[in-house]
Structure 1
Amino acid sequence: MTRPGTMFEAIGGFDSIDRLVTAFYKRVGEHPELTPIFPDDLTETARKQRLFLTQFFGGPMIYSEERGNPMLRRRHLPFKITPTRKDAWLECMEKALVEAEIEEPYRSVIVEKLTMTANHMMNTLE
């Protein structure tokens, strides 16, 4: 169930999430800082990201229904997330937001929320 007045609803729902995730993983799969910590086949990773972002932006709780509590930091601990990789991840996301035609002010709010999350994911010094 989608709650009215959410970021999910404001940006256009599932279609916008799909465009964003597709644009994002196209960049991740080519980024020299990120490819070492991502699988060669990004299909399942992108699917999980669609579930997560849907829920994170206020849409249906489909991530938790399938995978339980997100526990993002714990799930990311096996991967060396350095400040450089965090910045590369955010750069890919910012470019994907533009490509997916996520309009302002939503784009800036999303970047702000994801920056806080990305900062929390860092677990390794350079």
Structure 2
Amino acid sequence: MEQIEHRTIYEAIGGYKTMNNIVHAFYTRVNDHPDLKPIFPDDLTETIRRQMLFLTQFFGGPRLYEEERGHPMLRRRHLPFPITPTRRDAWLTCMAAALEEAEIKEPYRTAMMERLTLTANHMMNTPE
């Protein structure tokens, strides 16, 4: 029988340090992406902080986002921003590259992208 070493993806990938690497690698790409940059603020400091809280919780770490901001209500919080299929795909491309840069190993990389893809699909709110 295989021993389970980690209870969550967050623990398995290295916790805070690795999640921080992912989030910063992701926003470096977002800031340079022509489809994404228009819907993000010029100063990404608070956006990065909130994404760090959210992804930590989303992947099984401490429930920091919920403690600070309540239920994520992602779709509702993102309704003011036109999220098209093109922007969804760009977001996922940036996240996949960030996971690669952060050296997330399998099976965690695939598991993370599967969850993020479901969420990104749910966030679309505007046709092309």
Q: Do residues 17 (structure 1) and 53 (structure 2) align?
A: no
Deviations 1:3-23 (A, max 9, x none): x51011011100010000000
Gaps of 5+ in 2: 1-5
Distance in 1 separating the partners of 2:36 and 2:42: 11
Counterpart residue type for residue 90 of structure 2? A
Deviation, structure 1 residue 37: 0.3
Deviation, structure 1 residue 47: 0.4
Gaps of 5+ in 1: none
TM-score, length of structure 2 as denominator length: 0.95
Max radius of gyration: which structure?
Answer: 2
Counterpart residue type for residue 57 of structure 1? F
How much identity, in percent, do the aligned residues show?
69
SS of the counterpart of 2:22? Answer: helix
Deviation, structure 1 residue 66: 0.4
Tell me which residue corresponds to 1:63.
65
Q: 1:43-54 alignment to 2 at 5 Å?
A: 43-54=45-56
TM-score, length of structure 1 as denominator length: 0.96
Deviation, structure 1 residue 30: 0.3
Q: Do residues 5 (structure 1) and 14 (structure 2) align?
A: no
Deviation, structure 1 residue 32: 0.1
Deviation, structure 1 residue 70: 0.2
Aligned-residue Cα RMSD (Å) equals 0.6
Tell me which residue corresponds to 2:3.
none
Deviation, structure 1 residue 69: 0.5
Tell me which residue corresponds to 1:72.
74
Distance in 1 separating the partners of 2:82 and 2:7: 36
Q: 1:93-104 alignment to 2 at 5 Å?
A: 93-104=95-106
Tell me which residue corresponds to 2:35.
33
Selected match of 1:82 from 69, 81, 84: 84
How many pairs were matched up?
Answer: 123
Runs of 4+ in 1 over 2 A off after TM superposition: none
Counterpart residue type for residue 28 of structure 2? K
